Structure formats: C-alpha cells, structure tokens
Homo-oligomer: A and B are copies of this chain.
Amino acid sequence: MSKHIYIYSPSSAVRDKAAFRRGVKRLQALGHTVEVDEAALSSHQRFAGDDETRLAAIGRAAASGAQIALISRGGYGLTRILDAIPYKAVAKAVSRGTEFVGLSDFTAFQNALLAKTGAVSWAGPSVGEDFGAVDGPDDIMEACFDDLICGQGEGTGWRLPARDGEAPTLRHVHDAVLWGGNLSVLVSLLGTPYFPGVDKGVLFLEDVHEHPYRLERMLDQLRHAGVLARQRAVVLGQFTSFKKVPHDKGFSLRTVVDRLRSQLKVPVLTGLPFGHVPTKVLLPVGAKVEMALDGRDVFMVWGHRDAHHGHHHH
C-alpha cells in the first residue's frame, strides 16, 4: 500500500549520507512516496541545523499530512528544545492520522508529547540506521513498519530469554499506558514538566553505550522517584554496546536486573526486541495495551487504540 512518508531531522546531523540515501531509496522501493524535509541534511555543530531549524522541521512534519513522520536518525538535540516543541500542532497531526516514528533521542519528544497532550507516537526505526543498513533493513522491523503503514498492527510478542531466570508472575494487564524508550533520555526528563505522570502503566526501556553501573543508577533514580512501583510491569529491551571493565568483578547487566527484581514487586520482563539493534518491533508510546504471559511467551496487544484513526480493532 503506497503511503506518504515525511522524513525530517529533529536531533543530530546526518553524517552518514550514504546510509540516509539507501534508507530513502528502500522506502521508495517499497512503493511509498517519500518526502524529505528541506532541512533534513542541515548541519550546525552536532545538530541537524540550529534549534530554530529543527523546530521548524518538526512543524513541517506536523503540517505534512503524511501517514508517517520518520526521523532520519537519533543522536542528541531534542532535550535542548523541549520548551519550544509545537506539541499541540503535533497532537493535531496525530489526531488526523500522522504517525510519528523514531527512537533514542526521540524518546524525549515522545514522552514530552505524551506528558503535554496524551498523543500517541511510535517507538520504532530511523531512516539511516534501520532502512539504510548496509545489509538491508531487518525483516521483522520492516514487517512491523508495514503493519503500522497498513493500520494492521495490533500487538507484538516475544519469548523471555531463558538466561534471565525463572519467568516472573504477571497478572493479566489491561488498560495500561505503554510508555518509555531510551533509559538515559527518559531519565533526563525526570523532575521536569516533560516527564509523563503515568500510573499503572507498562514502562519499556532500552539503552546503548551505557555501562551497567550507569543503567543501575538510572533505574535506581526511577525507583527512588517512585516511578517503577507505580507501573504494572517494567519491560526491558536491549542494552547494547557497553564495555565491561576489570573493575566490575562480577557486576554486570545480569546483576543489575536481578537486583532490580529483588527490590520491586512489579514484574520485570526482559528480552523485548527493541533498542539499538536491527531487529526491533514498533511500540505505541502512550497507547493503552493489554499484556499477558503464557509460560515464557509475552503477548502485548494494543488493538483498542485510537478509534479516531480509523484503524480496525480485534
């Protein structure tokens, strides 16, 4: 189904232009009409243009009328401009059917949007690193993206990794707001008006290049802030590309997760296929989800979301 995809750059400058072009071509090859924002390849210091340029790009994405507004890449740039993002215009675009998709630094945008307007956006791929991957896009990611494009996505599922110990007990979760994203970026919203006040939600987290001691410090911050205990479940995605050091002496991601579980009554599920990895599902940030566990198999369903989008329901 041919759709209109609007590509823009709200965060870091696109340095790998070859990957960007591959991504655009891939989306075109899938039959979509790809519109590239006029500032998508702008560069100012680390950023894809100065703050005004990137804010204007967000505004154009919101005004584009596209089915999908997709980020070129993540990086860094959105926390700088949280007090100037046109949240209402974005929420209006969402209500008219534009799905905002991205990850990593985009977590700031997504959760601030949720906090300010309640509008749903999608944790998912970026153009360069996903659609522009040298070996081609990941099949599962592309299938999930296609589901979103077609309005057919109703949920996702995965198997709890055996290495993470016994499956936790999970009572059937329903009517829970799904939220979260990149742990570092989400935690950088704590204490500000851009941190969503979600109670009894499902919080999903991933991160990249962060040593387990930093992951633990951030998880403890969420715990001490009372955020984790207020959720129905905490779902851990992929934590990748950190370097162990000799000083660790047995301290690891595993000990961090084990300790978190020992401290929380809330179930902590692992293995979500999302993060800075090729195989990623798309997740509706701010949508109500149901979640259940059958043995080691997790099912998450968001079939009842946003009737005004005209999507069908299960």
In the complex the two chains form, is A191's CB within 8 Å of B191's CB? yes
B-chain residues with CB within 8 Å of residue A46 when the two chains form the complex = 213, 247-249, 251
A142 in the interface, Cβ–Cβ < 8 Å?
Answer: no
Separation in Å of the A214 CB from the closest CB of chain B?
8
A250 in the interface, Cβ–Cβ < 8 Å?
Answer: yes
A300 in the interface, Cβ–Cβ < 8 Å?
Answer: no
Known pairs A76-B217, A191-B221 / 14 extra A-B pairs, C-beta < 8 Å:
A46-B249, A46-B251, A79-B220, A80-B217, A80-B220, A82-B224, A188-B217, A188-B220, A189-B221, A189-B224, A190-B191, A191-B227, A192-B225, A194-B224
Q: Scoring A residues 198 to 234 as 1 if CB is less than 8 Å from chain B, else 0, what string do you get? A: 0000000000000001001110110011010000000
B-chain residues with CB within 8 Å of residue A43 when the two chains form the complex = 249
A190 to B217, CA, bound (A): 12
Separation in Å of the A175 CB from the closest CB of chain B?
25
- The bracket for how many chain A residues form the interface is 35 or more
A194 to B13, CA, bound (A): 37
B-chain residues with CB within 8 Å of residue A193 when the two chains form the complex = 224
Name the residue of chain B whose CB is nearest to the CB of A192. Answer: B224
Name the residue of chain B whose CB is nearest to the CB of A252. Answer: B45
Neighbour of A195 across the interface among B13, B45, B191, B194, CB < 8 A: B191
A153 to B45, CA, bound (A): 44
A12 in the interface, Cβ–Cβ < 8 Å?
Answer: yes
User: How many copies of the shown chain assemble into the complex?
Assistant: 2
In the complex the two chains form, is B247's CB within 8 Å of A191's CB? no
Name the residue of chain B whose CB is nearest to the CB of A193. Answer: B224
Main secondary structure of the interface of A (DSSP, over half): loop
Q: Scoring A residues 14 to 38 as 1 if CB is less than 8 Å from chain B, else 0, what string do you get? A: 0100000000000000000000000
In the complex the two chains form, is A225's CB within 8 Å of B255's CB? no
Q: Which of A127-155 contact B (CB under 8 A)?
A: none
Separation in Å of the A12 CB from the closest CB of chain B?
7
A83 in the interface, Cβ–Cβ < 8 Å?
Answer: yes
B-chain residues with CB within 8 Å of residue A227 when the two chains form the complex = 191
A279 to B305, CA, bound (A): 58
B-chain residues with CB within 8 Å of residue A248 when the two chains form the complex = 45-46
A256 to B218, CA, bound (A): 23
Q: Which of A166-193 contact B (CB under 8 A)?
A: 188-193
Q: Scoring A residues 100 to 115 as 1 if CB is less than 8 Å from chain B, else 0, what string do you get? A: 0000000000000000
With known contacts A247-B15, A247-B46, A221–B190 Cβ distance under 8 A: yes
In the complex the two chains form, is A247's CB within 8 Å of B217's CB? no
B-chain residues with CB within 8 Å of residue A45 when the two chains form the complex = 248-251, 255
A46 to B217, CA, bound (A): 13
In the complex the two chains form, is B247's CB within 8 Å of A221's CB? no
Separation in Å of the A9 CB from the closest CB of chain B?
14
Neighbour of A12 across the interface among B13, B15, B247, CB < 8 A: B247
